[in-house]
């Protein structure tokens, strides 16, 4: 059975990519299961998708614990603990990553034992985060070695019907281009068998004991715990305030920001806390003087010379 | 018949469409909403001849469903979790009206704490409502059981609401390969709503449904009739499944028995996680085990005789409950114990609680449950009930509690 685990953020085409891959396997006659998994927060929050394909019926379900391939649509997820990207990865697991950094750097940084392939973020066909997802699915389809270009192309057509024609064509081309790009590599994603019952590592279950006290109710007593969650890492778009246009109205931006990420400095100017601004752009819509501009996060961090 | 890739929600919507539902009262809740979205698009596009009404709550939604059903309209509705609980008063009420309609429940754990992921405490809270409960474990079963559910609800002698249950995320958002019944065969299997059956609620023929009765004996009559109708739904379900197999070639019945024939040990589960148990059974068999899975598809009426027969002579049975009755334990375990009580050949039972709020049950945990079961059967002593919860999860819990400023006062065994 093939087990492919996708990691990305809402809006990066992760669910669509997983469905295209599922559809391609289906068209090729495989038994298929594809499933996204996400929490209550959507845009920018980490999401997962799982694709399984097999020549025999699939009984496994849900989370893929031991992936054959891990697809990371956005390298800014790497440091996010909740994304748990390398969980269950073994030497045979291929990591496919959308990143402008060289593969060697990631291999070193993450102590990757097996293969890692980087697809650049920038360039033709990669203009929007959604297209990163498309580039990934094209690459994976090729790296599997069992899906033809035609089968992928059909799957793209079938799964992208909800997009308008131009967008569907662009997405499809991005995927097919990256399919072609991978023809040069010798690396292949290999199927793996199911876990063997004879030699399994036993789970370490605990005997949960009764405890007393307020901690046994689901309440948060500590103040400002949301500060600990770096929602800034979710951002795909960055609001930037132009203080020459801002008239310090009655700080609508700050009032409406759902994360409380805009504070007003001693001179009365709003300042954005980018460690927590999740990029929802509510502030952009609220500002009466149009002083807040939305920039693509990548572009913004390049301009300000940051490394994330 | 057409092969398609469908989510559980998509399969449920297709089932309702193939059943040619005429009325759809709706209220949104995750993870069920996609069912209504699908149906509303089809209605909007003229592909379905159905009236959809968005209601103000699940309480009104279930009232509307029951009212429509007793006036002779084929009705379907859907909810999840808190929604089911919010509508619970009316669920009992419309079942008492003997209103035949189908309610899709997409299982999701109950608050508090709030979650979006599945377990079965929501659907089991409706256990005593006299609604029939069908539990699906694949997307294929969902679409098929939608058709079966309408036949069952509308069977003379049954005439009760039928709940089709599927797990949130693990089925609702998971696409699988589904053989989609073609509409002609579906029509042959499920004839139009029986016209002699409804209360024929018309202005010139007024009827009062669900009247008040005082004094207890009238009440007892109606309540016991509902119980008998529910019991009758079991042989009726079997009969309908045979008809279904004739037309569509897929076999169903009160129990799915997987590798059970020569099994010495058995897993018991309901819902989508049961396919994980099948995988574990395959792996364990490869390692030389004689083990199988028994999965009830129908939980109300309870398939007692079927279970007793399927488990007779087994050495040990591990009941895996994805629910918990506070102060008692696993509900499937409790019910199975009562069913087996006094049977001379009853197997040893072990109780496991796992998969609460969508917690995964890993392969190695199935293997370990099998080992615990084997050991206990050899010793002849049932093990204490076990929550599937690891040291690592406990450590993570402690880390969260530290962040929350909720530090244990008197530290128990925190290992
Ligand atoms: S985009 Fe604006 S409103 Fe949204 S979190 Fe960031 S600062 Fe707040
Ligand atoms: S809403 Fe616009 S004008 Fe008002 S304080 Fe914020 S940036 Fe300035």
pLDDT digits (tens, 9 = 90+) for B391-409: 999 999 999 999 999 876 5
**Which two three-digit tokens encode residue B126?**
């409706």
**Which two three-digit tokens encode residue B157?**
């002698």
Instruction: Return the pLDDT at B409.
Output: 56
End-to-end CA distance of chain B: 54
Separation of alpha carbons B413 and B415, rounded Å: 6
**Which two three-digit tokens encode residue A179?**
């399919």
For chain A, how long is the longest CA-to-CA vector?
A: 71
- The verdict on A69 touching B (C-beta cutoff 8 Å) is no
- CATH number for A161: 3.40.920.10
Q: Is residue A197 part of a domain?
A: no
Q: What pLDDT band is residue B410 in, cutting at 50, 70 and 90? A: low
Ligand 1 neighbour A300 (Cβ under 6 A): no
Distance from CA of A114 to the nearest CA of B (A): 24
| A150 and A27 co-located in one domain | yes
| A175 and A242 co-located in one domain | no
| A160 and A258 co-located in one domain | no
Chain B residues closer than 8 Å to A60 by CB: 275-276, 279
Atom 3 of ligand 1, residue of closest alpha carbon:
A257
Chain A residues closer than 8 Å to B373 by CB: none
* CA distances, B106 to each of A58, A163, B169, B351 (Å): 22, 29, 9, 25
Separation of alpha carbons A119 and A72, rounded Å: 10
| A238 and A151 co-located in one domain | no
Question: pLDDT tens digit string along B254-268?
Answer: 999 999 999 999 999
Show the ligand 2 pocket: residues with CB < 6 angstroms. Answer: A 241, 246-249, 251-253, 270, 286-287, 289, 291-292
CA-nearest of B313, B305, B303 to B292 is B313
Separation of alpha carbons B329 and B268, rounded Å: 15
Chain B residues closer than 8 Å to A151 by CB: none
| A107 and A168 co-located in one domain | yes
Range(s) of the domain holding residue A283: 229-307
Sign of CA dihedral B339, B342, B348, B351: positive
Separation of alpha carbons A24 and A17, rounded Å: 11
| A63 and A170 co-located in one domain | yes
Q: For residue A269, which atom of ligand 2 is closest to its CA?
A: 5
Q: Is residue A102 part of a domain?
A: yes
Q: What pLDDT band is residue B414 in, cutting at 50, 70 and 90? A: very low
Q: What pLDDT band is residue A28 in, cutting at 50, 70 and 90? A: very high
Ligand 1 neighbour A189 (Cβ under 6 A): no
| A162 and A291 co-located in one domain | no
B38, B109, B140, B177, best to mutate vs chain A, most A CBs in 10 Å? B177
Question: pLDDT tens digit string along B29-55?
Answer: 999 999 999 999 999 999 999 999 999
Q: Is residue A273 part of a domain?
A: yes
Q: Is omega for the bond preceding B233 within 30 degrees of 0, making it cis?
A: no
Chain B residues closer than 8 Å to A221 by CB: 404-406
Instruction: Return the pLDDT at A76.
Output: 83
DSSP result, B257-314: EES-TT-SEEEE--STTHHHHHHHHHHHHHTT--EEEEEESEEES--HHHHHHHHTT-
Would you say A87 and A72 are in contact if contact means Cβ atoms under 8 Å apart? no
Which of A252, A283, A290, when mutated, tests ligand 1's pocket best, judged by the most ligand atoms within 8 Å of its CB?
A: A283
Question: pLDDT tens digit string along A104-148?
Answer: 999 999 888 889 999 998 878 888 888 999 999 999 999 999 999
Chain B residues closer than 8 Å to A32 by CB: 5, 175-177
> Using the beta-carbon criterion (under 8 Å), do A215 and B388 form an inter-chain contact?
no
Residue window 149-208, chain A: list those with CB within 8 Å of chain B: 194-198, 200-208
Q: Is residue A214 part of a domain?
A: no
| A94 and A168 co-located in one domain | yes
3-state secondary structure of A72: strand
Q: CB under 8 Å to B230, separation ≥6 — which residues?
A: B130, B132, B158, B160, B300, B301
Q: Is residue A15 part of a domain?
A: yes
Max mean pLDDT among B196-205, B210-219, B406-415 falls in B210-219
Atom 4 of ligand 1, residue of closest alpha carbon:
A280
| A244 and A104 co-located in one domain | no
**Number of domains within chain A:** 2
Is the pLDDT higher at B1 or at B371?
A: B371
3-state secondary structure of B329: strand
Would you say B63 and B71 are in contact if contact means Cβ atoms under 8 Å apart? no
DSSP result, B333-385: HHHHHHHHTT-TTPPEEEEEE--GGG----HHHHHHHHHHHHHHHHHT-PPPP
CA-nearest of B380, B358, B376, B377 to B174 is B358
Q: What share of chain A is helix, strand, coil (3-state, %, to 5)?
A: 35, 20, 50
Q: Which of A167, A184, A201 is the last residue of a domain?
A: A184
| A26 and A143 co-located in one domain | yes
Position A308 pLDDT exceeds 50: no
Tell me the pLDDT of chain A averaged across its residues. 91
Length reported for chain A: 308
Distance from CA of A228 to the nearest CA of B (A): 9
Question: pLDDT tens digit string along A278-293?
Answer: 899 999 999 999 999 9
- CATH number for A258: 3.30.70.20
Residue in chain B lying closest to A35 (CA): B174
Residue window 284-303, chain B: list those with CB within 8 Å of chain A: 284, 286-287, 289
3-state secondary structure of A212: strand
Question: pLDDT tens digit string along A153-165?
Answer: 999 999 999 999 9
Chain B residues closer than 8 Å to A53 by CB: none
Ligand 1 neighbour A280 (Cβ under 6 A): yes
Closest listed ligand to the CA of A238: 1
% residues pLDDT > 70 (chain A): 97
Would you say B75 and B203 are in contact if contact means Cβ atoms under 8 Å apart? no
Instruction: Return the pLDDT at A193.
Output: 86
A60 closest CB neighbour out of B279, B367, B394: B279
Separation of alpha carbons B52 and B28, rounded Å: 13
Distance from CA of B397 to the nearest CA of A (A): 11
What average pLDDT does range B335-361 have in this prediction?
A: 96
Q: Is residue A293 part of a domain?
A: yes
CA-nearest of B95, B150, B341, B130 to B232 is B130
Q: What pLDDT band is residue A302 in, cutting at 50, 70 and 90? A: confident
Question: pLDDT tens digit string along A38-74?
Answer: 876 666 778 899 999 999 999 999 999 999 999 999 8
Chain A residues closer than 8 Å to B388 by CB: 203, 205
Q: Is residue A203 part of a domain?
A: no
Domains of chain B with CATH codes: 2-248 (3.40.50.970), 255-393 (3.40.50.920)
Position B412 pLDDT exceeds 80: no
Instruction: Return the pLDDT at B413.
Output: 47
Residue window 5-24, chain A: list those with CB within 8 Å of chain B: 19, 22-23
The single-letter DSSP state of residue B75 is B
Instruction: Return the pLDDT at B170.
Output: 97
Q: What pLDDT band is residue A225 in, cutting at 50, 70 and 90? A: confident
Instruction: Return the pLDDT at A172.
Output: 97
**Which two three-digit tokens encode residue B271?**
């819902």
A26 closest CB neighbour out of B5, B394, B411: B5
**Cα B91 to ligand 1 centre (Å):** 43
**Cα A303 to ligand 2 centre (Å):** 23
The 8 Å CB, 24+ separation contacts for B220-229 are: B222/B96, B223/B96, B226/B95, B226/B96, B226/B98, B226/B130, B226/B160, B227/B130, B229/B98, B229/B130, B229/B157, B229/B158, B229/B159, B229/B160
| A20 and A165 co-located in one domain | yes
Separation of alpha carbons A137 and A4, rounded Å: 11
Residue whose entry in the numeric block shows the structure tokens 């799915």: B256
Position B61 pLDDT exceeds 70: yes
Q: Is residue A257 part of a domain?
A: yes
Which of A249, A261, A265, when mutated, tests ligand 2's pocket best, judged by the most ligand atoms within 8 Å of its CB?
A: A249
- The verdict on B359 touching A (C-beta cutoff 8 Å) is no
Separation of alpha carbons B134 and B247, rounded Å: 20
**Which two three-digit tokens encode residue B314?**
């087994």
> Vertex B128, ends B123 and B130: CA angle to 5°?
100
Question: pLDDT tens digit string along A164-206?
Answer: 999 999 999 999 999 999 999 999 999 998 888 988 899 999 9
Residue whose entry in the numeric block shows the structure tokens 């009325």: B23
Q: CB under 8 Å to A94, separation ≥6 — which residues?
A: A68, A69, A70, A114, A115, A116, A117, A143, A187, A189
- Total beta-carbon pairs less than 8 A apart between chain A and chain B: 151
A65 closest CB neighbour out of B362, B391, B410: B362
End-to-end CA distance of chain A: 36
Tell me the pLDDT of chain B averaged across its residues. 95
Ligand 1 neighbour A262 (Cβ under 6 A): yes
Question: pLDDT tens digit string along B77-107?
Answer: 999 999 999 999 999 999 999 999 999 999 9
3-state secondary structure of B318: strand
Separation of alpha carbons A131 and A125, rounded Å: 7
| A20 and A149 co-located in one domain | yes
Position A151 pLDDT exceeds 70: yes
DSSP result, B177-217: EEEEPPHHHHHHHSPSPPTTTS---BTTB----S----SSH
Atom 1 of ligand 2, residue of closest alpha carbon:
A287
Would you say A138 and A115 are in contact if contact means Cβ atoms under 8 Å apart? no
């Amino acid at each position: 059975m093939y087990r492919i685990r996708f990691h990305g953020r809402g809006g990066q085409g992760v669910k669509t990519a997983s469905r295209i891959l599922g559809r391609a396997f289906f068209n090729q006659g495989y038994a298929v299961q594809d499933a996204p998994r996400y929490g209550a927060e959507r845009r920018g929050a980490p999401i997962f998708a799982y694709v399984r394909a097999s020549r025999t019926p699939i009984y496994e379900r849900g989370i893929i614990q031991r992936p054959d391939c891990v697809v990371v649509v956005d390298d800014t997820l790497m440091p996010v603990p909740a994304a748990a990207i390398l969980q269950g990865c073994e030497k045979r697991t291929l990591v496919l990553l959308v990143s402008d950094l060289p593969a060697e750097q990631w291999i070193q940084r993450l102590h990757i034992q097996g293969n890692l392939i980087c697809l650049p973020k920038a360039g033709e066909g990669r203009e929007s985060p959604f297209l990163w997802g498309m580039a990934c699915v094209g690459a994976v389809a090729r790296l599997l070695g069992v899906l033809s270009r035609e089968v992928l192309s059909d799957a793209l057509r079938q799964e992208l019907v909800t997009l308008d024609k131009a967008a569907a064509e662009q997405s499809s081309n991005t995927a097919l281009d990256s399919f072609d790009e991978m023809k040069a590599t010798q690396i292949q994603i290999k199927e793996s068998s199911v876990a063997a019952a004879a030699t399994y590592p036993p789970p370490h279950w605990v005997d949960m004991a009764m405890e007393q006290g307020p901690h046994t109710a689901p309440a948060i007593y500590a103040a400002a715990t949301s500060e600990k969650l770096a929602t800034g890492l979710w951002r795909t778009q960055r609001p930037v305030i132009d203080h020459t246009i801002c008239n310090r109205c009655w700080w609508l931006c700050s009032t409406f920001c759902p994360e409380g990420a805009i504070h007003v400095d001693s001179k009365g100017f709003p300042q954005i806390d980018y460690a927590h601004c999740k990029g929802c752009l509510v502030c952009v819509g609220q500002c009466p003087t149009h002083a807040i501009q939305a920039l693509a996060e990548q572009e913004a961090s390049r301009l300000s010379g940051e490394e994330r | 018949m057409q092969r398609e890739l469908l989510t559980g929600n998509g399969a449920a919507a297709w089932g309702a469409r193939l059943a040619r539902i005429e009325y759809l009262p709706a209220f949104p809740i995750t993870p069920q909403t996609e069912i209504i979205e699908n149906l509303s698009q089809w209605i909007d596009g003229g592909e379905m001849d159905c009236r959809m009404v968005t209601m103000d709550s699940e309480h009104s939604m279930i009232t509307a469903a029951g009212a429509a059903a007793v006036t002779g309209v084929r009705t379907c509705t859907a909810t999840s979790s808190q929604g089911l609980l919010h509508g619970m008063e009316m669920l009992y009420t419309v079942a008492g009206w003997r209103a035949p309609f189908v309610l899709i429940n997409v299982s999701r754990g109950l608050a508090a704490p709030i979650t979006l992921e599945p377990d079965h405490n929501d659907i089991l809270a409706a256990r005593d409502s006299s609604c029939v409960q069908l539990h699906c474990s694949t997307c294929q079963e969902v679409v098929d059981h939608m058709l079966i559910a309408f036949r069952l609800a509308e069977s003379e002698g049954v005439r009760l609401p039928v709940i089709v249950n599927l797990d949130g995320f693990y089925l609702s958002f998971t696409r699988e390969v589904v053989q989609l019944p073609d509409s002609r065969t579906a029509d042959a299997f499920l004839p139009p709503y029986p016209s002699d059956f409804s209360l024929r609620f018309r202005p010139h023929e007024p009827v009062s449904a669900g009247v008040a009765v005082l004094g207890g004996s009238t009440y007892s009559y109606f309540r016991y009739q509902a119980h008998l109708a529910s019991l009758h739904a079991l042989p009726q379900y079997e009969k309908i499944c045979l008809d279904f197999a004739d037309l569509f070639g897929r076999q169903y019945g009160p129990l799915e028995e997987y590798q059970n024939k020569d099994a010495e040990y058995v897993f018991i589960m309901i819902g989508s996680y049961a396919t994980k148990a099948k995988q574990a059974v395959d792996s364990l068999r490869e390692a030389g085990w004689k083990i199988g899975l028994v999965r009830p598809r129908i939980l109300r009426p309870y398939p007692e005789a079927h279970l007793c027969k399927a488990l007779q002579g087994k050495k040990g049975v591990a009941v895996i409950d994805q629910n918990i009755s506070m102060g008692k334990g696993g509900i499937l375990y409790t019910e199975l114990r009562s069913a087996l009580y006094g049977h001379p050949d009853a197997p040893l039972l072990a109780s496991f609680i796992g998969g609460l709020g969508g917690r995964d049950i890993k392969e190695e945990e199935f293997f370990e449950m099998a080992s615990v079961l084997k050991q206990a059967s050899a010793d002849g002593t049932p093990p204490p009930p076990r929550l599937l919860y690891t040291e690592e999860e406990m450590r993570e819990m402690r880390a969260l509690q530290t962040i929350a400023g909720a530090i244990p006062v008197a530290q128990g065994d925190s290992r």
